[in-house]
Amino acid sequence: MAPSRGSERSTGADMGENSIELDIRVPNQTRYLSLIGRIGEDLARELEKEGGRRETLARHLNTVLTEAMTNAIVHAHDGDPEKTVHISISMADDELCIRVFDQGQGFDLNAVSMPDFDRLEEHGRGIYIIRCLMDTVVYRRLREHNVLEMHKKLRRS
């Protein structure tokens, strides 16, 4: 049965049968990390593709969302609890895209180097972890906000 197409379509984007788009706004507070991480896990479990890798994907999404959101809360927004973090997660046929928006000064993602594994530092692993778990990671500085945009191709089981 074809899904009904009509008033339920809230965006102008052409959404396919298996597309999911989530747009979430939460206060700029680390207590919401676990909520967003859990949403990522649950979303991965909805996937028909990925098969046995679904649980791995669930852990990866939890990790990536947590790292990206922490980056916005702690670094871009300086922990200001009055601010808001906007996260969008979209899943089309074979591709997952996570965007985390911030209204901070922005930073140069290309200047973030690999961690030095021979030096035991407390910080500096977040972006590295995101890069390991996603296929592409870009940071764009736009006029009204910045966005950390992460893509991952989904595989057939």
Partner 1 sequence: MKIEVTETHGVTLLMLANDRLDAHNSDLVKGRLRDVFESGAKDVVVDLSEVRFIDSSGLGAMVSGFKNAVSHHGRLVLSGLQTQPRSMFDLTRLTRVFDIYENAEAALGSFAGQ
Alpha-carbon distance of 57 to 140, in angstroms, equals 25
Binding mask 79-118 for partner 1 (x = CB under 8 A): ------------------------------------x-x-
| Nearer CB in complex with partner 1: 30/136 | 30
Q: Which of 25, 45, 125, 153 binds partner 1 (CB under 8 A)?
A: 125
Give the DSSP H or E segment for 23. strand 20-27
What three-state secondary structure class fits 51?
Answer: helix
Question: Of 43, 66, 76, 139, which lies in the binding site for partner 1, with binding defined by CB under 8 A?
Answer: 66
Among 126, 146, 150, 152, interactor with partner 1 by CB under 8 A: 126
Contact 59, 45 (CB under 8 A): no
Task: Name residues contacting partner 1, limited to 27-56 (CB under 8 A).
Answer: 30-31, 33-34, 37
The contact set with partner 1 (CB under 8 A) reads 30-31, 33-34, 37, 59, 62-63, 66-67, 70, 73-74, 115, 117, 120-123, 125-126, 128-129, 132
